[in-house]
Structure 1
Amino acid sequence: MKFHQKPNTFVSHVHLIVEQLERSLSFYQGVLGFQILDRTESSVSLTLNGKDALVTLEQPADVLPKEPRRSGLYHYAVLLPDRKELAKVIQHFVDIKYPLQGISDHLVSEALYLADPDGNGVEIYVDRPSESWEWIGEQVSMATEHFDLRSLLSEANGEKFTGLPSDTIMGHIHLHVSDLVKAAEFYLNGLGFKVVYQISNQALFISSGGYHHHIGLNIWNGKGVQAPSRNSVGLKYYTIVFADEITRVSAIKNLELLGYHVHDYTAVDPSGNHILLTVSMD
């Protein structure tokens, strides 16, 4: 988990809008094993380690269903500590017959994909050892390949899934954006990330500290797509953690030089994605 601590800049938390809070809790608690950290009448913060919120769910009074072909969340991704935990998760979904959207070998990681009851994309993955990642210059080699599911499932050694482990963290977030060039300006020149992988003119994968990606950006919903309505199902905001106050102040100044306004440490990217800019407490 070295890529998700100082001195790196990384994603730690997502705040989602959902249509029915209790329905969502049935999934996040009953299927994934999250626990409630804090609760109000309209929102719930969820944790796995008992102290840090990874996912917050909110049901606005005037909530709208998920809007198609908008910018916003493609998926958020929780990072497991090892392959055995991924095997247990996959077997769990098979046992309860929960629909999966895909299982992929990305060379740097192995991942499964699904959606919560509102259609918010979720990735659950495990990294391969970073020493095994292949780099060509400053670009890491990634792909989407099938892998030997039987071999992976054998890693569970008969252990049953009892919930995502407490040392699961937020690994990355992947966003739909309306313009890759403008997104690159915001995230690279503003927030200080670097491109580590690119799919032609369709997607960018960016990171700090040599990770395979802390943030993915794509135009797969279409170039020039609109931001979702304020109260529609999807991503309300996500949280980026900087190493220290100096780094955060520098990023805010860079954003302001580019013409972006930061209010109460919240920035809005060119596609309307809201980001809370925080500082590491470690």
Structure 2
Amino acid sequence: MQQKESIKKKWHFDFRKNMDTFSTLAKANPIKNQINKTSEEFASFGAIHLNNTSLEKSTNFWTKIVGMKLRKSTENSAEFGTETKTLVVVHQTAKTPFKKGYSGIYHFAIHAPNMGEFARMLHRLHDNNYPYSPVDHTMSKSLYLDDPDGINVEFTLETPERFKRVISDGGIKIEDATGNIRGASVYLEVDKILENLENKDLDKPLSKHTYIGHLHLYANNVQKANAFYKKLGFTQFNNFPEFMFADLGAGGPYQHRLAMNSWHGMEKPLAPADHAGMAHFQLNYSTKEKLSEALNNVTVFEEKNGYYCVYDPTGNKLLLTIEKG
């Protein structure tokens, strides 16, 4: 037990230094961004496709560590998700683990539908002694961990009711709903999360209401990428060009749906095809009209099997489609 605690504490400390990068970007121009409380989201994320080096290691990670169900597999690929939908598809095509310094995926997030399920995600990490970093962003509660190839994955519980606004006078801070000023990334008290654990059955997969809730990208040019995703229908939440960061919402109270940064360096290329990372992701539009509007805005796309393939300015591949009921 003592060894388990020491491992967790080391990862909490080291990992948080990385996650606090945005919160320690000092002396931004004064921007006070209050949440956009529109009622309906225009789109949601479908499955995210990853290139990995080992299907065996990936299967162990997504089933035992994350708690997803293996929905389908072939010799070189596997689909993972809930009882009713696929969330992650892994392709055994990489020869090299994920390496920093390239554009592409920064992390993506698996969102829990409620506190009880979020606590069960945390409990599963503890039960498997898997290293992670707990971070409280006020607008969400998060657990960060790496897959076997070093691709960063976030477990998230949305808590927009705790958030009031972003304050950037002298550094990025958050004002919460009660008027307290906090850092953008502070330590999440995991013991309080575990107090909400109702079901300790780890043989049961993730709730069918679990979903891919947001995506954070390394962009080779944040402003070009930001403009592109607004053409797809996303709305601005934060934009700090001085610090090479922006994020956007899709409607609804939680606005951090798609984020991008160039903290790895400007104009960095995508990783070579044989590196572990993101192959592509899927965006499901709520209506045909919303999809048509996006396609009219981007103009260049390829249609195949009901999907519309587009590429963002960095070179990331997206598949656009209509959300299926």
Given the two structures, how large is their TM-score scaled by the length of structure 1?
A: 0.87
How far apart in 1 are the matches of 2:189 and 2:58?
Answer: 31
Tell me which moved more, 151-160 or 225-234: 151-160
- 1:55 equivalenced with 2:88 (yes/no): yes
User: What's 1:15 paired with?
Assistant: 49
* CA deviation after TM superposition for structure 1 residue 8, in Å: 1.9
- After TM superposition, list the pairs within 5 Å mapping 1:97-176 onto structure 2: 97-100=129-132, 102-128=133-159, 130-135=160-165, 141=174, 143-156=184-197, 159-162=200-203, 163-176=205-218
Q: Distance in 2 between matches of 1:33 and 1:266?
A: 30
Offset at residue 131 of structure 1 (A):
4.0
- 8 Å CA contact 2:143, 2:156 repeated in 1: yes
Distance in 2 (CA, whole Å) between partners of 1:35 and 1:161 is: 12
Number of paired residues? 268
Task: After TM superposition, give the deviation of residue 89 of structure 1 in Å.
Answer: 2.1
Counterpart of 1:99, as a letter, is P
- Whether the aligned pair in 1 keeps the contact of 2:42 and 2:233 (CA below 8 Å) is no
Residue matched to 1:244? 287
Judged with a 3 Å threshold, the aligned counterparts in structure 2 of structure 1 residues 31 and 253 are, in CA distance, closer, same or farther, namely same
**Cα drift, residue 7 of structure 1:** 4.7
> What secondary structure, in the 3-state scheme, does the structure 2 residue paired with 1:23 have?
helix
Q: Secondary structure at the match of 1:92?
A: helix
Residue equivalent to 2:260: 217
Q: Does the 8 Å contact 1:71/1:226 carry over to 2?
A: yes
* Aligned counterpart in structure 2 of residue 202 of structure 1, from 244, 260, 267: 244
State how far apart, in whole Å, the 1-side matches of 2:80 and 2:200 are.
25
Indicate which of 79, 99, 108 corresponds to 1:45. Answer: 79
Instruction: State how far apart, in whole Å, the 2-side matches of 1:22 and 1:136 are.
Output: 42
Which blocks of at least 5 consecutive residues in structure 1 are unaligned? Answer: none
- CA 1:187–1:29 in structure 2 vs 1: closer, same or farther (change >3 Å)? same
TM-fit CA distance, 1:141: 5.0
2 CA distance for matches of 1:110 and 1:7?
21
Query: Are residues 209 and 85 of structure 1, via their aligned partners in 2, closer, same or farther at CA, if it must alter by over 3 Å?
Result: same
Q: Check if 1:95 corresponds to 2:127.
A: yes
Residue segments in structure 2 that go unaligned for 5+ positions in a row: 1-36, 168-172, 176-183
Residue range with higher mean Cα deviation, 119-128 or 27-36: 27-36
Aligned mates of 1:227, 1:244 — CA distance in 2:
31
- Give CA deviations for 1:126-183 in whole Å, capped at 9, x if unaligned: 111x44431479xx95821123222222221573544422221111111111101111
Shift of 1:118: 0.8
1:28 equivalent to 2:62? Answer yes
- Compute the displacement of 1:23 (Å): 1.2
Cα distance in 1 for residues equivalent to 2:92 and 2:312: 23
Deviation sequence 1:234-268 (CA, Å, 0-9, x none): 00000111112222121111112xxxx21121111
Contact residue 237 and residue 275 of structure 1 kept, 8 A: yes
- Residue 314 (structure 2) pairs with residue 271 (structure 1): yes
CA shift in 2, pair 1:68/1:135, >3 Å: closer
Structure 1 counterpart SS, 2:214: strand
One-letter code aligned to 1:126: L
- Given candidates 216, 222, 228, the residue that maps to 2:271 is 228
RMSD of equivalent CA atoms:
2.4
Cα separation, partners in 2 of 1:15 and 1:158, compared to 1, 3 Å: closer
- Equivalent-residue separation in structure 1 for 2:166 and 2:149 (angstroms): 39
Residue equivalent to 2:27: none
Query: Residue type of the partner of 1:58?
Result: H
Please state whether the residue corresponding to 1:182 is helix, strand or coil: helix
Letter of the structure 2 residue corresponding to residue 36 of structure 1: L
Q: Distance in 2 between matches of 1:6 and 1:73?
A: 27
Give the TM-score taking structure 2 as reference length. Answer: 0.76
